Each structure stands twice: as C-alpha cells, then as structure tokens.
Amino acid sequence: MTDVPTLTPFSRYQKFVVGLLATLQFAVIIDFMLMAPLGAMIMPALSMSASQFSLVVSTYAFSAGLSGLVTAGFADRFDRKKLLLFFYSGFVIGTLWCGLANSFETLLLARVVTGIFAGVIGSIVLAIAADLFAPQSRGRVMGVIQTAFAASQVLGLPVGLYLANHWGWHAPFLLLAAMGAAGGLIILLVMRPVADHLAAPQEHSAFRHLFNTLATPRHWAAFAATASLTTGGYMLMPFGSAFTVNNLGIDITHLPTVYLLTGLCTIVTGPLIGRASDAFGKLPVFYVGSALTIVMVIIYTHLSNVPLPWVILVNAVLFVGIFSRLIPFQAMVAGVPAPTHRGAFNAVSSAIQQLSGGFASLLAGHIVVIGADGKLQHFDVVGYCLVATTVVAGYLVWRVQRGLLAAKA
C-alpha cells in the first residue's frame, strides 16, 4: 500500500499570500457576477433596453479576453507584484466608474475599462501562485483560491443585492471599489516582490515572447483543455436559475437559499479537494471529479418538479464535481510553462477562458428554447454538450500530465 505524502505546512507569509490571492479573485468574480442580478434595477434606472444591457455584459468578457492576449507578451517582463498592482488599480478605478455611471454610454465604457484590467488579474494571480509554491503544494493553494467563486455566492451576491435594495444599484460597486482600494494598499505595503523569473534571459520583443508561448507544443494541450472545460461550464450555468424556477417549480424567493447552501458546501469542500490533489495526485482527483460531474449533470438536466431539498442536494454535489475538476487541473497546469513564460501562458489561458465562455453562452442560447409554458426546452442537450466536453478534456488533461512527466525525465 502506497503511503500518502506528508503535506508541508505553509509559513505565515505563504498563508498571507494565499489569503490575499483568494481575496483578489473574490473581488474580480463578484464584480463580474453582480451585473446579472442588478440588471432589473439598472435597465429602468438608465432607460436601457435588454439588448443594450446584454451589450454592457458581453463587452466586459470580450474586452477581458482581448486584454489577456494583448498583455501576454509583456506579462513576464516585470515584477509580478508591480504588474498585479497596476492592473488591480485599473480594476478599482473601473469599478468606481461603474458606481458613478449615470447613463448607458458611461456604464458601457466603465465596463470595458473594468474588463481590460480585470481580465489580466486572474492570470497574474495564478502565475504568482506557481512562482511561490512548489508543485506538491499547489493543489492546496488552488483549493483556497477557487473558493472565491463560492464565497461570491455566499457573501458577495446577497450583500450586493441588500445594498442595492436599500441604497440603489450604485452602492455595491462603490463599496467594492472602496474595499479594492484597501486591498491595493495591502499589496503595496505588505506583499514582497515576485521577480525571480527576471533572472533568466528575456526575449528581445514582447511579440516574440507571445509567439514563443503560443508556439510551444507542450502548451497546446493545456490551452485546448482550458477551452473544453470552460465551454461546457458556460453553456450550463447561465440558464441555471431559469431552469430551477421554470422547470423544477422552485419559487424564485428560494433561489438565494439554493445559492447560499451550494456556496457553503463548495467553501468547505474546495480546500479538501486541494489537499486531496496534493496527497493522491492531480490526475486521479481530476478523473473522479469528471466522473461525478458527468453523473450529476445528467441527473440535474433531467429533473422535473422536485422538492427544494433535492434541488439543493443535486446542485451541491454537482458543484463539488465541477470544482474537483477545476482545482487539480489548475494545480497541474501551473507546472506546464517555464517560469519565464508563466505570465504569458496564464494570460493566454485567461483570454481563452473569456472567449470560450462568450462563445459557449451564445451557442447555448441557440440550443435552449423557452416554451409556451415558460419552461426551458432542450436543456438536456446542453447537459450532453457538457458531458462531451468533459470527456474531451479528460483526454487532453492526460496529455498534459504525460507532457509534465516527459519534461521531468
């Protein structure tokens, strides 16, 4: 019987860095997620049509994706702390602009600016995590960082909606900007430089650096797996609330309960998944999560008129499966690029996520149809698409693992 490896404890500074990176992820995710629930307030307040609001939402994703590609060539040419501080400052300014916007045009510009800066933060966070933590510890790090998504459901959305209901839709963005400014000061004053990668020889041009990142064969499987995993998830999630209310018969007032308990479950299990990835291996945990995801997606997309506890249980287990794929995958992929290409690699990956997500949402919108009774039709087809992308991702992640083992040999 193989012994489980002993996990090395983190130092006090490492714990601080992990907490800081998770907090930054939380801020970026909640800024993105706030737009959808606030739409019912923003559209009448700014006299916006549904098409104008959808443009405001989509421009964020596309500007974030293009920003990732444009900045990829420069991502490894600076101290990562300085790069993080620059883009995080831009994100805070963009969020403040959103809170002060008083027309469709100003809000649209504010979301473009916010997307440009926010789209790069996630890639810098992952590059810093890979730089500061050894491969055998990255599962735990990614497990904590990815709980930011769950925390945004448990804390961010309810608080944001509460503020909007009492002080208007501007209030959540203004509070997020204020908190973000405080986070920027912590980065400036407490975080140490992350610049070891600068000791290695640098390519002469940013374009050459980006080209070499894209042309490296071992990066291709990781990029393709990222696109595959993102496409499946983004096809399913946008319709989750509508499916729960219209097809499953759950009253809309119970939606916060579903999100709250699902998020709490993910917050608890995320770090455990990370520890399991370090202890038992990234690939085995990824495959277990993929199998669980496939089973739960098929069950979820075929539900009909079930009680609230059953909906909560299915959602919770489904998200456990999804995060059991995501956490070990990100921990594994962190070791794919050389240290001198981590920034560019993660920037390209972030751009692929944004663009794949936008494509997936558009594709799902052409598959799902709202019937005369208000129920979603062909939602099971979206589920089968997620199953197919999960299978494809399973093969691609195996290719990634094989490349990592070959590089060590």
pLDDT for residue 123 is more than 90: no
Q: What is the mean pLDDT of residues 211-228?
A: 88
224 inside domain: yes
pLDDT for residue 158 is more than 80: no
Place 366 in a pLDDT band, splitting at 50, 70 and 90. Answer: confident
CA distances from 267 to 121, 217, 220, 231, 295 (A): 22, 35, 31, 23, 22
Q: Which domain holds residue 386?
A: 12-408
147: phi then psi, degrees, rounded to nearest 5: -70, -10
pLDDT for residue 2 is more than 60: no
21 inside domain: yes
Q: Which residue has the higher pLDDT, 298 or 209?
A: 298
388 inside domain: yes
103 inside domain: yes
328 Cα distance to chain centroid: 14
The CA distance from 95 to 113, in Å, is 9
Q: What is the mean pLDDT of residues 363-382?
A: 82
In this prediction, residue 78 carries a pLDDT of 83
In this prediction, residue 270 carries a pLDDT of 86
pLDDT tens-place string over residues 162-195: 788 888 889 999 999 998 899 889 999 998 998 8
* Residue 277: Cβ within 10 Å count: 28
Candidate from 18-22, 250-254, 278-282 with smallest mean pLDDT: 250-254
3 inside domain: no
C-alpha triplet 336, 330, 292: angle, nearest 5°: 130
In this prediction, residue 1 carries a pLDDT of 43
The percent of residues above 70 in pLDDT, for the chain, comes to 93
92 inside domain: yes
In this prediction, residue 203 carries a pLDDT of 58
7 inside domain: no
Torsion, Cα 226 227 231 233, to 10 degrees, reads 0
Q: With left for phi above 0 and alpha for psi between -120 and 50, is residue 307 left, alpha or beta?
A: beta
4 inside domain: no
Candidate from 290-299, 346-355, 384-393 with smallest mean pLDDT: 346-355
pLDDT tens-place string over residues 250-273: 887 787 788 788 888 888 888 899
Q: What is the pTM of this model?
A: 0.76
**What is the count of structural domains for the chain?**
1
User: Which CATH number belongs to the domain containing residue 350 in this structure?
Assistant: 1.20.1250.20
